Amino acid sequence: MISRICLIIPPSVFLLDERVFMSLGILKVAAVLEQEGIAVEILDLSGISNYEEVLSVHLRSTVTQCFGLTATTPQMPAVTKIQRTIRLARPSARIILGGPHVTLVHAAVKHEHKRGMVGRAARSMKQLSSMFDVLVTGDGEMAIFEALRDTPSALVDGDNPQSPLFLKGSAIENLPFPARHLIDVATYQYSIDGTRALSMIAQLGCPFGCGFCGGRMSPFLRRVRTRSAHNIVQEMVHLYHTYGVTGFMLYDDELNVNPKMVSLMNLITDAQTRLGVEFRLRGFIKAELFTDEQATAMYQAGFRWILVGFESGHPRMLDNIQKKATRDDNTRCIEIARRHGLKVKALMSLGHPGESEETIRATRDWLVDVRPDDFDATVITTYPGTPYFDEALETSPGIWTYTCPTSQDRLHGVEVDYRHVAEYYKGTPGSYTAFVYTDNLSSEQLVHLRDWLETDVRDTLSIPFNGSNPGIRYEHSMGQTGLPSFILRASETAMARIVREPLRLLSSGWWSERP
């Protein structure tokens, strides 16, 4: 068994500010490794522009021969460069890849096999296998020990519910909290209503089947797995005592899929009374499940904002997405929130099967009618692991077409080599790049209408662009969700703030193993 590992958090160069929410998944892996006496280095490259140089300096200063990387799909170009740098400097080193990208590619491969296909997912998996010594899919907390064996398998599958590597029941509760002490927490800056905040994940998984969302074929991402309310509050209290924070961004997919959510909110309220402090919280809810009772309990617990993935204001688009929520459900959700003093950030997306100028204008009109307190609008990306990717067929060379099973509306996507192409994901307003199109709208038209919608709605409702708060534009769910197993949430953008001088930071030991 390898006794020392360097875990690397790659940069997210597609974001305008990377130092907002830390990568909790890889810190969960670090925590279980430390618990078992394995020496852990964390090399946190988020926000480092010359990350290859920083990595080279680190490689000259460490004797470590095992490296573990996490990657969402948008991070893969940077991870490819990191892998190449390690391989050139340490040809015999073991390089492990985990995270959403490999997990979702592997889930897509399994789905291809069921359909009797060998397609683009299989090609992507083969490419990853040629780059990395071990691939870890799904839950990484137990799988990492298999990857560190003297003679590991090339694929360690923690995305199989029949495997002991798949976390079940009390196993989640018994895990240590993320090893935040291994990174420079003070450099991550996020606030909720002026209160400094850190991110948490209270529960795992989302049971819904939205077409744009990654992991719909992955049990790791599809199955809801919860911790007890007591355990969640314990982590909040730990963060309060350790880092002095009273703000908490709960990055669960949908807080209210947990039937015990109200009890959790009440326990959070009780904890604040015992501590003599007031918390501020922020998180995501599912519109059609939202109730007055939930809203009351959330406000008392310290929520003042909620985020809701409404996605579209057109009924046909909501059906095509398989959103399960109707336009009336979405309107009712905002009305409930307003009654209880909760502000709503509406998360909207464009580029679904059958999207047209008419459906985008309907989204604009719905936003103007319900008047959310804030919103964002993104052009979707067909990530591996989404139904839009997994169910698509190649209709011409390099063009993959998803057909909605109910309406027969279509969505076309250009095949992308995710290891090298970063331009397919650009969340910066004014510089979006879309690699999808519909029968009604080209990629360029989707981008143009997205820009028009955002400008028009903000002008009409007097909602400013939130460039002053680096966290606000970081929150849109784009389908690779924040779950702890070598994971970092791929989200919408934030404003650029932090450019750090890496050699100075290396000499100060910010990356190193902590006592």
Q: How far apart are CA 106 and CA 206, in angstroms?
A: 19
What pLDDT sits at residue 376? 92
Residue 72 phi/psi, 5-degree rounding, is -80, 170
Q: Which domains does the chain have, with CATH numbers?
A: 4-174+498-508 (3.40.50.280), 188-474 (3.80.30.20)
Of the candidate ranges 89-103, 263-277, 319-333, 490-504, the one whose mean pLDDT is the lowest: 490-504
Is pLDDT larger for residue 485 or for residue 63?
Answer: 63
What's the mean per-residue pLDDT of the chain? 87
For residue 428, give the H/E element and its range: none
For residue 44, give the H/E element and its range: strand 39-44
What pLDDT sits at residue 58? 95
What pLDDT sits at residue 91? 96
Q: Is the pLDDT of residue 467 over 60?
A: no
* Percent above pLDDT 90 for the chain: 72
Q: Is the pLDDT of residue 482 over 50?
A: no
Residue 225 phi/psi, 5-degree rounding, is -130, 125
What pLDDT sits at residue 245? 97
What pLDDT sits at residue 423? 54
Cβ neighbourhood burial of 358 (10 Å; 0-12, 13-18, 19+): exposed
CA 214, distance to chain mean position in Å, is: 10
Tokens of 7: 């875990």
For residue 381, give the H/E element and its range: none
Q: Is the pLDDT of residue 384 over 90?
A: no
What pLDDT sits at residue 369? 98
Mention every residue, 6+ apart, whose C-beta is less than 8 A from residue 116: none
Q: For residues 58 and 503, is the Cβ–Cβ distance under 8 A?
A: no
What pLDDT sits at residue 408? 97
What pLDDT sits at residue 159? 94
What pLDDT sits at residue 228? 93
**pLDDT tens sequence across 226-244:** 899 999 999 999 999 999 9
CA-nearest of 514, 488, 511, 507 to 12 is 488
What pLDDT sits at residue 471? 39
Q: Is the pLDDT of residue 222 over 70?
A: yes
Query: What would the DSSP string read from start to end of 293-322?
Result: HHHHHHHHHTEEEEEEEEE-SSHHHHHHHT
Q: How far apart are CA 220 and CA 362, in angstroms?
A: 35
Q: For residues 255 and 229, is the Cβ–Cβ distance under 8 A?
A: no
Q: How far apart are CA 357 and CA 273, in angstroms?
A: 51
Is pLDDT larger for residue 488 or for residue 117?
Answer: 117
What pLDDT sits at residue 514? 24
Q: What is the mean pLDDT of residues 348-369?
A: 98
pTM score, whole prediction = 0.86
Three-state DSSP at 391 gives: coil
Q: Is the pLDDT of residue 380 over 50?
A: yes
Distances (CA, A) of 198 to 178, 189, 279, 413: 12, 8, 12, 36
Three-state DSSP at 202 gives: coil
What pLDDT sits at residue 33? 97
Mention every residue, 6+ apart, whose C-beta is less than 8 A from residue 448: none
Q: What is the mean pLDDT of residues 320-349?
A: 97
Q: How far apart are CA 476 and CA 376, in angstroms?
A: 7
**pLDDT tens sequence across 136-173:** 999 999 999 999 999 999 999 999 999 999 998 788 88
